[in-house]
Amino acid sequence: MKLTAKAVVFPALIIIAFVIAPRIAIGLIPAGIEEMIRMVFDVNMVISTLTVVGIAAAAMSFVKNATDSWSPANLLAAIASELIGLYVFIFFIGLGDVAGLGVTRISIPAGPGATMFWDFKFFVLCQFLICGLSIVKESLDFYSSRKGRYAQPTAPS
């Protein structure tokens, strides 16, 4: 394990972005706009989810930056980071409803039964593909660095 500035700075930035900034931002929003936002989704649930995701992402960033590329912990942290990113994308696309997988339903107070549907399944599918390819890339990088670390040196001829 190597403790570098990168291993400390990036997790700190992630905690600032996912844990501290949302709590400050919600306090800076005017009351009328905050009330409109609360009609669309549960703000406390969003902040709680961002806090948990931010702490998990910061931990994975610390592990990934503090371990060597040939370490299995580095591979697991890289894969977990990709999955956390996928979760955050689906969370924001669905306005807090991860189970919808890109389909967002918003009730409009304009009339009885007025609902607005947004279908972002294409973007969610693209993000799944990107996440899968990133995991394959991380696995190949791990295999390559592991193979290079344990390669037998050949005698010069």
Using one digit for the tens of pLDDT, what is the confidence trace for 112-122? 666 777 778 88
Mean pLDDT of 89-116: 73
Using one digit for the tens of pLDDT, what is the confidence trace for 43-69? 888 888 889 999 999 999 999 888 888
Q: What are the backbone dihedrals phi and psi of residue 104, each rounded to the nearest 5 degrees, phi first?
A: -110, 130
CA distance 34 to 45: 14
Q: Which of 99, 14, 89, 22 is nearest to 56 (CA)?
A: 14
Q: Work out the number of other CB atoms within 10 angstroms of the CB of residue 108.
A: 11
Mean pLDDT of the chain: 83
**Token pair 């918003």 is at which residue?**
106
The pLDDT confidence band at residue 79, using thresholds 50, 70 and 90, is very high
Who has greater pLDDT, 38 or 30?
30
3 state DSSP class of 58? helix
